[in-house]
Structure 1
Amino acid sequence: MAFVFHRLVKVEEALKILEEATGGVGPLGVERVAVNEALGRVLAENVSAEVDSPPFDRSIVDGYAVNSADVYGASEASPVRLRVIGEVKIGTPPEIVVDSGSAARISTGAVIPRGADAVVMVEYTKELEKYVLIYRAVAPGENVSTAGSDAARGDVILRRGKMITPREIAALVGIGINSVRVYRRPRVAVYSVGDELVKNSHELRPGKVIDVNGPALTSLAAECGADARYYGILPDDYKTILHALSQVLANHDVVITSGSTSAGYGDVIYKVFSDLGRVLIHGLNVRPGKPTVIGLSNNGKLLIGLPGFPLSAMIIFNVIVRPILVKMSGVLELEEWRTLRARFPFRMEAGGGKTEYIPVQIVETSTGLSAYPLLIGSGSTTALAISDGFITVSEERQFIEEDEEVQVTLFSQSYR
């Protein structure tokens, strides 16, 4: 017998139900990893500098290390002559002392020698045998990066909840950190469900379509910081799906399926979820994406059944699954890059009792950014290639007005 959607819930309500059922979605544990393996991980604790950065006073230009008092008043018209006593090279501790009336050649990054408190850029000098003419005065500390000026030992440099990018790796190495404590990645298993699905174009036959959702959803989960794995295609068969999902639940925190989520006779995901634990939600009051199923297994693992249409699956992933995986990953910082403001180009009917997600393409115009709607079906795969994101129209609305400013949720960090 077919199952009916007893109650359609709002996205906000769905997330609240999930929070209450799980006792709160959050990080799943902590582990230590080497800094060179920490890309994309999330810090589980504040990180403080173990050494001063830089570890010594160093020159930030090529030139001459001097005592600033010796070059006071130096100018193009009245240069100061100093005796050159040697050279300080990068990577070598200086063995010379800059006394009054003397200067030392110095390379960028080299240690400032004793007696010197500033560096004159080579562009403002002229060397004559054992002497150098200084054509510009310098202040104490000019062109010098002092020890600990970037970070002093004990300073908190990165805070808990920060996702590690190449910039953070550079900072960690620079302050003497070799390993960091990070949150464990949520382990996610992804399946596509449908008798009509095949892996690639070589397997296409009449009535068959290529599985788009499996690879796409796996990539989206990985982008959220998850350790995601695509396990392939399952037929619309209750016993096969139940067995497959039962096998991965022991070693995964989240199982994501796409397809077979509606209320037809051949749609069985809600039944599988029910027998693996309990169904929390079957049906969202949204368009597209209504046939979404969310459940919780008997061992506390999250079960998410997304619609089979690719555009629907991607949008529901962004509004339901992404917030969950980001919390599980431990990220505290908001993904501010994910939204931008743009103008809607014309009046359009939208909303009308359901929260509506409209895919858009961002166009740069002479008056700013415009969000042009892509009026295509949720089964379209080309929409994923040409759309930059989507706008959300609340269920209370009936229209989007011409030239109305809208918020666009981006699918990626940039638009075309």
Structure 2
Amino acid sequence: MPTTTAMRTLDEHRAASLALAAPLPTVVVGLPDALGHVLAQDVRTDEPLPRWDNSAMDGYAVRADDVRDASDATPVTLRVVADLPAGSSGRPVVEPGTAARIMTGAPVPPGADAVVPVEDTDAGTTTVEVRASKAVGQHVRRAGEDAVPGDLVVAAGTLLGPAHVAAVASVGVAQVAVHRRPRVAVISTGDELVTPGTTLAHGQIPDSNSWLLAAAVREAGGEAMRLGPVGDDPDALRDLLHGLDGGVDAIVTSGGVSVGAFDVVKAALLDEPDVVFVPVAVQPGKPQGLGRLPGGTPVFALPGNPVSSFVSFELFVRPALLRMRGLTDVERPTTTAVVDDGWRTPPGRAQVMPVRFVAPAASGAGARTPTHPHVVRATAGGSGSHLVARLALAEGLAIVPPDTQVAAGDLVTVLRVAP
């Protein structure tokens, strides 16, 4: 287990985290299970879309020449030769002087080249009076106007949403190849941790990290296996990690990575040559561990303070999980925001400050930059790594470069971590 005192920058450690990740193998799923997966192969159409000319309106399929002079004053009477509901396979020929009653989506019959909406007609028993002229092609959806054979419908690498699933279904594809979701084991460590709801003895605290990280894995599109809390027994933890190696796609631990006497994760991974523990120039989240177990499973060893765990997951683990899912864009949405309250920053380290968005009226500082959203620290405690109860107020993470002071009115880059 290499341990170094040479400090990495935030970007260096992020790059090392991403280097552990690659798109997972593909599986074939049916359309009911496709939502939220990342497409692994292009979907193209073998047919024109629409497949045939069809009506854009409920009304009558006509020959445009027959209704060229139709108006309210001089309606044209046509003989109705057929009824064509959507899905009809009928192909009646519309001869001069005739029309076919037609519903939206039904194929336009041979001979017809326009559709008259029902509101421009007066229907009789076997005839229809047309009170408006229509040009050739009016209210007709042409075959192939949406796509032609060979067109790309949904590209590989697309995160499938409802519209993508509909597009795949529209070309008659019932199954798609997608990247498998990463299976992630989440382990919180520490003798002081107990399951929420348990009566606490003096010195004990409820385990929140395993719930935090498991939820974060699921929000990132992974499948979480929550295994915390685990006590400060290096041998037991080592056995657990080796048992998981090769059976999951990643392991995320929290706690036991610093320089204390009971750093169980460091002790458990003492003999792993491909796992490194390194300080990172970021606050919170300085102590970090990273690497692969002998079976190749990536392990992300995060600090145990809850805000540190949350920030570390966002910066280092989430992007790697998104890459495993097959995504190329692994970034959170960012925005430039005006700070309405200044704060102190640590020397030599980037700072990640949980923030919430506020109305510009909350401070006079906003009058100069009305086009930007405004933020304040999520809590008065700022980026204190233990402030988990107030973490729920955070809507974004302000990224402050090293050796940069933040004053009211300054602009900062904010990762949006809440809708």
Q: Relative to structure 2, which stretch is displaced further, 141-150 or 106-115? A: 141-150
* 1:347 corresponds to: 342
| Corresponding position: 1:356 with 2:351 | yes
**Deviation for aligned residue 1:110:** 1.4
Q: Distance in 2 between matches of 1:181 and 1:146?
A: 31
Q: Relative to structure 2, which stretch is displaced further, 248-257 or 223-232? A: 223-232
- The TM-score normalised by the length of structure 2 is 0.89
| Corresponding position: 1:173 with 2:169 | yes
In structure 2, the CA distance between the partners of 1:334 and 1:278, relative to structure 1 (3 Å rule), is: closer
**Deviation for aligned residue 1:155:** 1.5
**Deviation for aligned residue 1:77:** 4.2
Secondary structure in structure 2 of the residue aligned to 1:360: strand
* 1:247 corresponds to: 243
**Deviation for aligned residue 1:139:** 2.6
* 1:408 corresponds to: 414
Q: Is the 8 A contact 2:322 2:330 kept in 1?
A: no
Give the alignment partner of residue 74 of structure 1, picking from 70, 76, 80: 70
Which residue identity does 1:383 align to in structure 2? R
Give the alignment partner of residue 31 of structure 1, picking from 8, 16, 27: 27
Q: Relative to structure 2, which stretch is displaced further, 4-13 or 35-44? A: 4-13
* 1:370 corresponds to: 374
Q: Is the 8 A contact 1:162 1:332 kept in 2?
A: no
**Deviation for aligned residue 1:161:** 1.0
Secondary structure in structure 2 of the residue aligned to 1:56: coil
* 2:364 corresponds to: none
**Deviation for aligned residue 1:177:** 0.9
Q: Relative to structure 2, which stretch is displaced further, 8-17 or 69-78? A: 69-78
**Deviation for aligned residue 1:57:** 2.0
Q: Is the 8 A contact 1:273 1:295 kept in 2?
A: no
Q: Is the 8 A contact 1:280 1:296 kept in 2?
A: no
Q: Distance in 2 between matches of 1:115 and 1:232?
A: 72
| Corresponding position: 1:391 with 2:398 | yes
Q: Distance in 2 between matches of 1:118 and 1:405?
A: 58
Give the alignment partner of residue 272 of structure 1, picking from 268, 272, 278: 268
Q: Is the 8 A contact 1:191 1:234 kept in 2?
A: yes
Counterparts in 2 of 1:4-403, with a 5 A limit?
Answer: 6-18=5-17, 25-333=21-329, 335=331, 338-350=333-345, 352-365=347-360, 367=370, 369-374=373-378, 375-376=380-381, 377-397=384-404, 399-403=405-409
In structure 2, the CA distance between the partners of 1:149 and 1:308, relative to structure 1 (3 Å rule), is: same
Percentage of identical aligned residues: 33
Which residue identity does 1:385 align to in structure 2? A
- Give a deviation string over 1:22-75, Cα, whole Å, max 9, x none: 5xx321322222222222221222111244333322212211111222222434
Q: Is the 8 A contact 2:335 2:414 kept in 1?
A: yes
Q: How many residues align?
A: 406
Q: Distance in 1 between matches of 2:91 and 2:144?
A: 22
Structure 1 stretches lacking a partner, 5+ long:
none
**Deviation for aligned residue 1:14:** 1.3
In structure 2, the CA distance between the partners of 1:350 and 1:68, relative to structure 1 (3 Å rule), is: farther
Q: Distance in 2 between matches of 1:4 and 1:257?
A: 17
Which residue identity does 2:42 align to in structure 1? N
Q: Is the 8 A contact 1:5 1:263 kept in 2?
A: no
Q: Distance in 2 between matches of 1:142 and 1:351?
A: 68
**Deviation for aligned residue 1:197:** 1.2
Q: Is the 8 A contact 2:3 2:276 kept in 1?
A: no
Which residue identity does 1:370 align to in structure 2? H
**Deviation for aligned residue 1:265:** 0.4
Q: Distance in 2 between matches of 1:101 and 1:32?
A: 53
- Give a deviation string over 1:139-192, Cα, whole Å, max 9, x none: 322222222322333221111111122222111111111212222332211111
- The TM-score normalised by the length of structure 1 is 0.90
Secondary structure in structure 2 of the residue aligned to 1:172: helix
Q: Relative to structure 2, which stretch is displaced further, 114-123 or 52-61? A: 52-61
CA RMSD of aligned residues (A): 2.3
Q: Distance in 2 between matches of 1:409 and 1:370?
A: 13
Q: Distance in 2 between matches of 1:242 and 1:322?
A: 24
Q: Distance in 1 between matches of 2:346 and 2:153?
A: 46
Q: Is the 8 A contact 1:50 1:176 kept in 2?
A: no
- Give a deviation string over 1:374-399, Cα, whole Å, max 9, x none: 232322223332111111000031x2
In structure 2, the CA distance between the partners of 1:38 and 1:46, relative to structure 1 (3 Å rule), is: same
Secondary structure in structure 2 of the residue aligned to 1:53: coil
**Deviation for aligned residue 1:248:** 0.5
- Give a deviation string over 1:76-97, Cα, whole Å, max 9, x none: 4443333322311122212422
**Deviation for aligned residue 1:361:** 0.8
**Deviation for aligned residue 1:247:** 0.7
Q: Distance in 2 between matches of 1:221 and 1:71?
A: 63
